[in-house]
Structure 1
Amino acid sequence: MYISHVTIENYRNLQSIDVDLQRETVVVGENNGGKSNFLRAITLPLVSDEIAYTSKNLSWQDINNTAKENYYDFLLKNKKNIIDNKLELETFKESVPTIVVELTLMPDKTELYDVKDFICSVDKDKTEYKIRYEFAPKIDELWDRVQSIMLHNAISESSIKQYQMNLLPTDLYSYTISVPEKNEKIPYDTLRRFKYTSLEAERDNFSLSTDKLGSKSLIHLLQMKLDDEAKLKVEQEYRHFFETIKTVSKMEEIINWQDNSEIKRAKDFFDKISVLPNMPSMTSILNSVQLGYDGQSLSTQGLGYRNLLLMLVLINSLAEIEDLSLDVLTVEEPEAHLCISNIRLMKGFLNAFTEQNDFVQLIYSTHSPELIGKVDLSNVVVLHQGKAFSLSAELKEKSIKYLSKNPNVDIYNLLFTKKCILVEGLTEELLIKAYLRSKSELNEIEVISFHKGYIDIIDIWLHLNENSTNKLGVVRDYDNQDNAKKEHEKYNKYKNIIVATTTEYTLEPEIVKAGNNLEALKKKYGSRFGWENMTADEVQNDWRNSKSFIMLDICQDLINGDLPDFVMPPHIQKVLDFMIEGGKS
């Protein structure tokens, strides 16, 4: 079983999220894009496993800022009707921001009994199972308070900030966990089989802290491994340990000092004094155990090993949990402080663990291409400025397969670079990168070789960047395909995208015919490549037959400043000008 879909409304910077999930989901995005908030929101309808507990009761700061601004604007626009008690309560209710997280569960056929209480809709083709978390106010009490504040205070656009927390007081809010559409609250005995375990990014000092998160996980694992017979063995060994302590310390001689007493009949009394074992609880005994590595305390290890061991022990402990239908494990940046070999070790472990444990769903955020590159890209969810989408929903299967197998596509560079140029092949990539290296002021531009067919990728990029200041340039060959040229160049209507196509079939004739490039190339390479007496067509035809070899020489000479008269082809120069100056010629 796993969560197949999540919708989130008005939680922190996530105003409206509607996205599919997989049993193993990778969440990517820029800093402050909403990844941590996304992971926390998913856990709100579930029961905590107490590793990193998130309170179900939220605060004023947890309500989405845009939703709050819309609410305050509504109050200002309807101030007179509120004071005069002429505003319908239902209209007021619609303006009040509430936080909602709704999880859709996908059980196997053998797990249908576990989710029978979560049925929210049934039809002949599909039955839906959902859990809904809602953080909402008591509308009647909120209305009374808002009306009183606006009646007795001069609320205006300039002064409303002084009253904003009182106009939206979270002490009137409470949370419910229910089945949507039925509005039936879910009892704890049912919900307790659906848990989450979270590892937040701030975990660097866990082995030094009083909580000892690493030891907690180890103790949890040990407790689940101890059956009744093992516990009897521990008790026997503890008594043996006690007898050894008693003998070595000669406790009986210290306690039983009746032989030196002059009190009558003292011997009968003192003979009954003894030292007994005070066996602590099993948890207390196991608390004396701590994590270590190579025979040394974990606190003496580096941050990388501490993080790696914490995650390995914690995740292994989840495999031993019984009587659970679903355990969602959320991890922020599992790569934190890990070297490349340990990142690969962690990734392999995560893959193996989720495959072997059907009731565990893994959702983690990352900035590491290593943790993205080895997973099917259909499992990737992209977060950007509070918006989210899954690549599986937005990309065709053919495009996903291409992205997955293309070693030159770093999804972070593709989707989040401020200035990105997509090109068809190695020739264009070498040329533009060499030009950029020779012009240091352009070094923030990323160039990615993407073969052919940009439309799906441009659409994905637009989802993230349509209203941003990021720029995308596309350099493509004409290839005698008028329809493809028109389909791609229609994206020039967007202010932050430029698509430029060669007028010739491919790039080489464009370079040769640009400016005085023909003379510059013949002067520099005529004797080496036999170009001294060739025409422009002959040079470009010869070049096309060995393009990588020749282009490499040209690029090296560009970087070294040995081709001062060389100019870029017009279509590439147009893209570069757009990247530098922002205008479209």
Structure 2
Amino acid sequence: MLISNACIKGYRNLKNVDLKLNRLVIFIGENNSGKSNLLKAITLPFLNNEIGNVGKNLGWHDINNDLKNTYFNFIKINLEKIKDSEIDIKDFVSIIPFVSVMVTFEPEGADEYYVRKWNNYLDDGKLLYQIEYRYFVENPKQLLEHITKILADKCEDDVDNMKLNLLPIEMFKYSIVVPTTNEQVAFNDLTSFKYNSLAAERDDFSYKNTKLGSQALVNLLHNKLGDEQKVKVEESYGKFFDDLKEISNLEGIFNWQEISEIENAKEFFDQISLLPNMPSINSLLNNVRLGIGEEYLYSQGLGYRNLIYLLVMMNSLEVNSDIALNILTVEEPEAHLCISNERLLASFINSTIKSSKQMQLFISTHSSEYLNKLELNNVTIVKEGKAFSLTGVAGKEDLEYLAKKPNLDFLKFLFSRRCILVEGPSEEMLIKSYLSFQKNVLNDIEVISLHKGFKNMLDIWLKVNDGTSNRIGIIRDFDDQPKAQLSHEEYNDNHSIFVTTTTEYTLEPEFVKTNKNFEKLKKYFSEEYGWKDDEIKSPDALSDKWRTAKTDIMLNFCQDFGMGHLKDISLPKHIEKVLKFLQSGVKE
């Protein structure tokens, strides 16, 4: 069993998102793109015991702003008709904001039993198993009467100052239904679907010694205790209380009857006894906290606390035979972790998801450690409230191409606001060094060395960054391939891409033959490395010597150039043009 599709409408910045889902789904995207909103939205249809509770009754700010603006603009445009009660109720209903999350299940074999009541026959006769969470105005007519009364003596300018009253959240309700029949989904039918949420703000469970436990840990322990185990807890508490009475002689406190002259005092006080005030199971469990060996977890480092917490919580999610699907959402699992612990956790996640067909895992991340290049079909890209699977923007050949790229930081390539692709380490070292020592300039340019294959990368980048202000530059060598140069520079027709090519064969001769660089570079290499005049007497000779030299020489040169020690040496034009384009958007 798994959720094969999720259609989300009107939730926060997710105006209309339709996603195909796998057993493992990895959401990647920039800050504030909507990743956390997706994780929360997917859990809305499921009412059960949960960790990291997401309320089913939403708030005013959970409703998509575009939908609300459409609603208020409608009111402004039709203000007079509203006052005169001339608005058609159907037209009004069509623009009332709402939230909808519809999930489609894909059962396997006997799992069909759990979703048998949720079958939906579509127009083409196809059978789907679906349920839908809805958050909507229950009585649109009442809402229309309400705003008509409020607006009786108001003008159009007043609408912006009374939005909360014109769309009162009190008139909204939530329900979970079967979409095609509108039948309510019974709570008992949802009990076989569990979800657990591990949010990014998860460290408060252990950050100080006065924090005895967290709600997440308490819920986990409570859910794991069976009826027989809970009875044993109660019996243990009773024994603890009896021992406490004996040790502290608490009954001696109530001994007035022994010294009283009242005849029936003993008879009366013998009926008084101390009874255990048995607390709830949750109260007992709230006094439990995680530890490492003999030390409490709060005494460990921040990253280690988060690692242990995630491992413990995920390891506890055993799937019982009567569970149809166990949904787990994890927000930024890499938070506070060093690279080795990131890899450990990523390996643990992969092992966990592959061990059960009754679990489905959703992760949001900014780390490439959780992107398995051999399973890029699990990646979903989130951008400005829109989401689409990587398979939707890249074909099979493109995904195979990406999987073969060694050391490609996929996230940096896709989401850098300013990015430069270069063919080799020489250009990468040069540009990074040059940028790192620029003063009075904020630098957000990412430089990635790919060697070859820019066209494949650009096709993917364009699909992901369509409609954004992000820019990408490509710096390539001529390599005596004029046709390849023309085919790459065709991308310059796009305003967000600038491709430049050396006029010489590679970078080194281009550098030597730029402006008056030859004499200055000749002097530099002669003084720094003892290159003899007869070896570097011409630009071509110097270029050949430099190109075949050890990489350490290029590294040292790049550092010296970037630090400004070689002020009179000019940057090659094809590199300079790309840098200016990324900073200003102007192509020269």
SS of equivalent residue, structure 2 residue 54:
coil
1:323 deviates by 2.8
Q: Which residue of 1 aligns with 2:135?
A: 135
Match of 2:571 among 542, 546, 568: 568
The corresponding residue for 2:15 is: 15
Q: Identify the residue that residue 327 of structure 1 maps to in structure 2.
A: 326
CA–CA separation in structure 2 for the residues paired with 1:327 and 1:113: 16
Q: What is the CA-CA distance between 1:101 and the residue it aligns to?
A: 1.6
Distance 1:442 1:406, change over 3 A: farther
Please tell me whether the aligned partners of residues 420 and 447 of structure 1 are also in contact (alpha carbons under 8 angstroms): yes
Query: What secondary structure, in the 3-state scheme, does the structure 2 residue paired with 1:354 have?
Result: helix
Kindly state the Cα deviation for residue 575 of structure 1 after the two structures are TM-superposed.
0.5
Mapped pair 1:144 → 2:145: yes
The unaligned stretches of length 5 or more in structure 1 are none
Alpha-carbon distance in 1 for matches of 2:337, 2:345: 9
Q: Deviations over 1:425-470 (max 9, x none)?
A: 2222122223324534374322111232234433443455444443
Q: In 2, Cα distance between the equivalents of 1:182 and 1:486?
A: 58
Mapped partners of 2:311, 2:248: distance in 1: 41
In structure 1, the residue matched to 2:166 is: 167
Listed as ranges, the matches of 1:132-211 within 5 Å are: 132-137=132-137, 138-150=139-151, 152-156=152-156, 158-207=157-206, 208-209=210-211
Query: In the alignment, what sits opposite 1:343?
Result: 342
The code of the aligned residue for 1:216 comes to V
Structure 2 counterparts to residues 183-332 of structure 1, below 5 A: 183-207=182-206, 208-209=210-211, 212-213=214-215, 215-217=217-219, 219-220=221-222, 222-224=224-226, 228=228, 241=240, 244-249=243-248, 286-319=285-318, 323-332=322-331
Distance 2:392 2:532 in 1: 50
Cα 1:280/1:146, change in 2 over 3 Å? closer
**Closer, same or farther: CA 515–186 of 1 in aligned 2, 3 Å:** same
Instruction: Give, as a single letter, the amino acid of the residue that structure 1 aligns with 2:525.
Output: Y
Partner of 1:502: 502
Q: Aligned to 2:32, what secondary structure does the other structure show?
A: coil
Tell me, what secondary structure is at the counterpart of 2:36?
Answer: helix
**Change over 3 Å in CA distance of 1:491–1:324 after alignment to 2:** same
Aligned 8 A contact 1:491 1:498 in 2:
yes
Post-superposition Cα deviations, 1:367-411, rounded to whole Å, max 9, x if no partner, equal 334344688443232323222222232223444345456454333
Q: Report if aligned partners of 1:421, 1:446 keep a CA contact under 8 Å in 2.
A: yes
Aligned position for 1:365: 364
CA distance in 2, matches of 1:196, 1:268: 57
Aligned equivalents of 2:442, 2:254: Cα separation in 1: 85
Matched residues in 1 for 2:505 and 2:83: separation? 71
Residue type at the aligned position of 1:528 = W
- Name the structure 2 match of 1:30: 30
Match of 2:383 in 1: 384
Does the 8 Å contact 1:408/1:449 carry over to 2? no
Alpha carbons of structure 1 residues 533 and 300: separation in structure 2 relative to 1, 3 Å: closer
Following superposition of structure 1 onto structure 2, how do residues 439-450 of structure 1 map, counting pairs within 5 Å?
439-440=438-439, 441=441, 443-450=443-450
Give the match for residue 353 of structure 2.
Answer: 354
Structure 2 Cα separation of the partners of residues 524 and 245 of structure 1:
86
Aligned-partner Cα distance in 1 for 2:548–2:298: 61
State whether residues 7 and 18 of structure 2, in contact with CA within 8 Å, keep that contact through their aligned partners in structure 1. Answer: yes
Contact 1:329 1:362 in 2 (8 A): yes
- Cα deviation per residue 1:81-113 (whole Å; 9 max; x = unaligned)? 444555443333322222222222233234222
Match of 1:395 in 2: 394
Measure the CA separation in 2 of the matches of 1:273 and 1:70.
70
Q: Please give the alpha-carbon distance, in whole angstroms, between the structure 1 residues aligned to 2:87 and 2:437.
A: 66
Which whole-Å CA distance do the structure 2 matches of 1:397 and 1:485 have between them? 26
- Give the superposition deviation at 1:223: 0.8
Give the direction of change, closer, same or farther, for the CA distance of 1:491–1:91 in structure 2 (3 Å limit): farther
Please report the TM-score for the alignment, with normalisation by the length of structure 2. Answer: 0.85
Q: State the alpha-carbon separation in 2 of the partners of residues 133 and 12 from structure 1.
A: 15
Cα distance change on mapping 1:550 and 1:297 into 2, 3 Å: closer
Q: 1:420 to 1:265 in 2, by over 3 A?
A: closer
CA distance 1:263–1:329, shift in 2 (3 Å): same
Question: Which range moves more in the overlay, 2-11 or 544-553?
Answer: 544-553
Q: Report what 1:451 is aligned to.
A: 451
Q: Which residue of 2 aligns with 1:415?
A: 414
SS in 1 for 2:333: coil
After TM superposition, the structure 1 stretch with the greater mean CA deviation from structure 2, 194-203 or 38-47, is: 194-203
CA distance in 1 between counterparts of 2:442 and 2:422 reads 17
Q: CA RMSD in A?
A: 3.7
CA drift at 1:290: 3.4
TM-score, normalising length from structure 1?
A: 0.85
Per-residue CA deviation, residues 266-308 of structure 1 (Å, 9 max, x unaligned), is 9999888877777666656555543323223444444434433
CA contact (8 A) 2:535 2:542 kept: no
Residue 135 of structure 1: SS of its match in structure 2?
strand
Paired-residue identity, % = 44
Contact 1:408 1:448 in 2 (8 A): no
Deviations for 1:497-551, whole angstroms, at most 9, x for unmatched residues? 2122334554444334322333333343366277646554455455555584653
Over residues 181-213 of structure 1, what are the superposed CA-to-partner deviations in whole Å (9 max), with x where a residue is unaligned?
A: 333332212122223222223333224557722
Partners of 1:46 and 1:272 lie apart in 2 by 51
Q: Which amino acid aligns with 1:338?
A: L
Q: Match of 1:558? A: 561
Q: Distance in 1 between matches of 2:102 and 2:231?
A: 46
Letter in 1 for 2:390: L
User: For residues 234 and 52 of structure 1, what CA distance do their matches in structure 2 show?
Assistant: 25
Further displaced range: 383-392 or 82-91: 82-91
> What's the CA shift for 1:317?
3.1
AA in 2 matched with 1:71: Y
2: CA distance, partners of 1:116 / 1:531: 86
Question: Can you give the 5+ residue segments of structure 2 that lack an aligned partner in the other structure?
Answer: none
1:528 is paired with a residue whose SS is coil
Query: Is the CA contact 2:536–2:545 (under 8 Å) kept in the aligned structure 1?
Result: no
- SS of structure 2 residue aligned to 1:318: coil
Please state whether the residue corresponding to 1:47 is helix, strand or coil. Answer: coil
Cα distance change of structure 1 residues 529 and 7 upon mapping to structure 2, 3 Å threshold: farther
Preserved contact between residue 15 and residue 385 of structure 2 (Cα < 8 Å): yes
Deviation at 1:216, TM superposition (A): 0.3
- Structure 2 CA distance for aligned equivalents of residues 112 and 531 of structure 1: 82
Task: Write the letter of the residue equivalent to 2:40.
Answer: R
Deviations 1:58-79 (A, max 9, x none): 2221111122222222232333
* Cα distance in 1 between the residues matched to 2:252 and 2:563: 91
Aligned residue identity for 2:449? S
Closer, same or farther in 2 for the Cα pair 1:251/1:66, shift >3 Å? closer
Aligned residues: 580
Amino acid corresponding to residue 554 of structure 2 in structure 1: M
Structure 2 contact 297–305 (Cα < 8 Å) conserved = yes
Once residues 300 and 487 of structure 2 are traced to their aligned partners in structure 1, the CA distance between those partners, rounded to angstroms, is 57
| Contact preservation (8 Å) 1:522, 1:531 | no
Which of 527-536 and 512-521 deviates more? 527-536
Asked if the contact 1:7–1:102 (Cα under 8 Å) also holds between the matched residues in 2, the reply is yes
Find the residue that maps to 2:173 and give its secondary structure.
Answer: strand
Distance 1:232 1:548, change over 3 A: same
Shift of 1:40: 1.3
Does the 8 A contact of 2:67 with 2:97 survive in 1? yes
